Copies of this chain bind each other. A is one copy, B any other.
Amino acid sequence: MGDDAGDLLALSPDEILARVRFDSAGLVPAIAQDSTSRQVLMLAWMNEEAFRATMTTRRATYFSRSRQRLWVKGETSGNSQQVVQLRLDCDGDAVLLLVEQQGSACHTGEQSCFDVGGADVR
């Protein structure tokens, strides 16, 4: 078991990238979580280029599956995400970004994309 946040700190971007298991379409799901409120804001997808851009620019950058191109979060809305921490899960096939969200994360105007509908099941 690795120390919290320890394993990746000594690695270069290339070494971190080598641990990511992209799917057959070359994508990996990325969860954006507000680093302050801890609210889960959205789930998007990254290809290798988006992952590398996120690490180097520290701005969350995704791959738009509908537009089939790189998508810097907030590039049109201004609602960008400053990445504070990037985490991989235990088998490298999911990414968690802790971000400082400018404005709202969702194009609907809601703070989180998950604000649009929920059901208590308790």
Q: Interface on A for B, CB 8 Å cutoff?
A: 1-2, 4-9, 11, 16, 19, 29, 31, 33, 38-40, 42-43, 54-55, 58, 82-91, 94, 96, 106-110, 113-122
Q: Once bound together, how far apart are the Cα atoms of A8 and B117, in whole Å?
A: 5
Q: Once bound together, how far apart are the Cα atoms of A68 and B64, in whole Å?
A: 28
Q: A107 and B86: CB pair below 8 A?
A: no
Q: Once bound together, how far apart are the Cα atoms of A122 and B100, in whole Å?
A: 11
Q: A107 and B120: CB pair below 8 A?
A: no
Q: A83 and B121: CB pair below 8 A?
A: yes
Q: A118 and B7: CB pair below 8 A?
A: yes
Q: B108 and A90: CB pair below 8 A?
A: yes
Q: Once bound together, how far apart are the Cα atoms of A58 and B119, in whole Å?
A: 12
Q: A5 and B119: CB pair below 8 A?
A: yes
Q: A117 and B19: CB pair below 8 A?
A: yes
Some 16 contacts from A to B, beta carbons below 8 A apart, are A1-B109, A1-B115, A2-B116, A2-B117, A4-B115, A9-B118, A9-B120, A31-B31, A84-B121, A84-B122, A85-B122, A86-B118, A87-B117, A90-B108, A90-B116, A96-B114
Question: With A38-B38, A40-B40, A43-B31 in contact, is A90–B110 under 8 Å at CB?
Answer: yes
